[in-house]
Chains A and B, each alone.
Chain A
Amino acid sequence: MSKTKENLIAVFGGTGLVVGFWLLVKLDIPSPFHYAALCLAFVFQAAWVEATVGLRRPIWARLCRIEAPIYFGLMVLLLWEGLVRSLGVAPVILPAPSAIAAQIATSLPTLWTDFAQTILKGAIPGFLIGAGAAFVVAIAIDRSPFLQRGLLPIGNFVAALPIVGLAPILVMWFGFDWQSKAAVVVVMVFFPILVNIVAGLQASERMQADLMATWGASYWQTLWKLRLPAAMPFIFNGLKIASTLALIGAIVAEFFGSPVYGMGFRISTEVGRLGLDMVWAEIAVAALAGTALYGAVSLIERWVTFWHPSQRH
């Protein structure tokens, strides 16, 4: 591709971006003009994203990789805003993104308190305790075939218990505060992690185990130096599944009793008061927190299992 062409594409893409942002700021009353401009901006942008794939100058391609999802997200928000306003949708059914943003801006302290209660005290400690317990039990199961036959079915059984049934009981046991939420999260994340660790520990090749045997390696040496590293891709699969479960568990558990703060508490009470803006604000925080948690686990996975074919680029 020639340099002029690259520059042309850059100008197109830049124009699309600027028009898009300008519309986002300016969009008070949507008009046919707004929608036409919006479509044009979108087309420019899409053309840029398409054209930068395989460009000589990788800076454009790299910029595009970050920018494309942001841009698409903005497009969805714009469309949402426009539809809600032009169709006159009642805020109780679906508030406009701008209304949700205003709500977030005015209730930051409340949102932070709720976030700290539900995510920092409920979800994350529960996730860590559940993962730790799963690890210890997985090793015990690995050492003893008796436990493998006995514990796995029970774990399966506990995993099948409906969370809405289990949560009230755990609230009775551990009280209204975050401890009971962490307990719900522990129960929810334990089994998927356990199953993945147990499967992962079987994943090392026979030949590699034979090698360890010819070197006279002990059980623990084989575990640390061969079987656990080989199990890491499996373990991280379990952790990623569990990271989203942890969020659900911590929020839903608050529906069954909590102090007067927390994301689940806020959602259930605000729904009752028809404060849908606040509900959506909490949903936005939950979505961000969930993405961050999943992203953090994925980042660690990239770093730990860099050697696995799925991570090599």
Chain B
Amino acid sequence: MIYAYFLVAIAVVVVAQRLPDLRAKRGLFLLLGVALLCAPLFDRNDSTFNVLADAGIFVLLALGLNIVVGFAGLLDLGYAAFFAIGAYTYAMMASPQFNLHLPFWLLLFLAAAFAAVFGIILGAPTLRLRGDYLAIVTLGFGEIVPQIFQNLTKYTGGPNGIGALDFPSLFGRSFGQNTIPYYYVVLALIALALFFAYNLRDSRLGRAWMAIREDELAARHMGINTTAVKLAAFALGASFSGLAGVVFAAKLSLVSPDLFQFQVSVLIVSMLVLGGMGNIPGVIVGALVLVLVNNVVLPQANTIAAGAGLHVDFGNYHFFIYGAILVGIMLFRPEGLLPSRQRKEELHHAAA
């Protein structure tokens, strides 16, 4: 059953991508949105919406990283750090840890703002670096942040993290253990993220990002303030991750440093690479495919293998899958599986 949701969502996004007519495209997305909104009325299976909410969190992360990597062309290998900052913001301000119990909705904004501030703190000194050096700096940052959360035991609970986070509530009604409310929150945030992502892409700022991505020197000579524009990409991308972190923490009711390791950053990069960096429908599909593989296909493969008397843990093959995606796509289809027409032209033109 869970497959149906993923396959339908992926199919709709792929078809919408192919449609030349903008109105039809929008209509199709709207239809998918309405269907997803109504789904809990007909499907009473809580675990389905649990997986879908997780998938949504990764769609949110992929949309955010897409601004940095896809639009502006800055390879950020420490994106999970901002996710961690968002999650810990919620964990520290809505839990018995400091006996602060700020409301979820306020913390959504706060965490997005915090993450953006950290994006600027990291970006301001480093954004004049060349692309590959920038990637390594972000990787270093991504290593430092969870390590600091792990080391400051007094404030963050150390390696065990912080548990028993508050359940969010709306109009006085607590979400509790129920997954459906989180699913709706995630859907709403994706809608918001899509709105921002599309409008940013088509804005003056978005065109500046793409100009930098294609040729930074030329962009600078056209009068683009490259540092400011790159900082904006970092801050906005980070803020998406902060939002995702809050929902992730609240839903899990737990944060710990090992949830935000390098593998998470690489997973999100793999989603972008798979779907097509810079293309919004592409990265959504990339995120959905990888979540489907990680959270549904591999565990089921384990069950099937165990049923056949085999002792294979397919959960051990995650790294291999991410690695194979990164290598395979870069070598054979650098524009990703679902690229925008423009990006495809750019890449193949550059290669020629």
Are A and B subunits of one complex?
Answer: no
| Partner-A contacts on B (CB < 8 A) | none
